[in-house]
Structure 1
């Protein structure tokens, strides 16, 4: 996994929430109902991320899949080593 893709996606998701939340906090009525403003900002952020952040999410998930596939390959090689050691000790 590339750490850059994880950082970029995380920062963009945070901005997708914080910018609408900051704009809503400029309105006096929403200052009183900050929880409602947070819910609206979360919905707006979710919508924006679904529309505009597909590419960074794709990069992040591809990196995670590659990292997981690498772990599976190394786990298979560990099993092969263990099998070879067991066979060697059985032959003695």
Structure 2
């Protein structure tokens, strides 16, 4: 069974944070444009406050995909040694 990638779960949660307030405001009879603007602000605030852990998981997974897992060899010279030799 495969796990859901962090980017997918974070995107779904962000969409829900926007769509739920939008639907509620539209059902209450607000104007479509005002509803969309308010829902975007609410979604942004909710994601900023409550989705920090998911955002960090996405950031970490992107970093790992970009840089890979670091292979540190004990015999390898450190960055400082390399810079001193230049």
Q: Which aligned runs of 4 or more in structure 1 are off by greater than 2 angstroms?
A: none
Offset at residue 4 of structure 1 (A): 1.5
Query: Could you say which residue in structure 2 is the equivalent of 1:87?
Result: none
Q: Which residue of 1 aligns with 2:40?
A: 42
State whether structure 2 residue 12 is matched by structure 1 residue 11: yes
Q: Deviations over 1:13-67 (max 9, x none)?
A: 0000000001001112x1xx20111000000000000010000000000000111
Q: What is the distance in 2 between the residues matched to 1:27 and 1:64?
A: 40
Q: Residue 63 of structure 2 corresponds to which residue in structure 1? A: 65
Give the TM-score, by structure 2 length.
0.72
| Structure-1-length-normalised TM-score | 0.68
CA RMSD of aligned residues (A): 1.6
SS at match of 2:27: coil
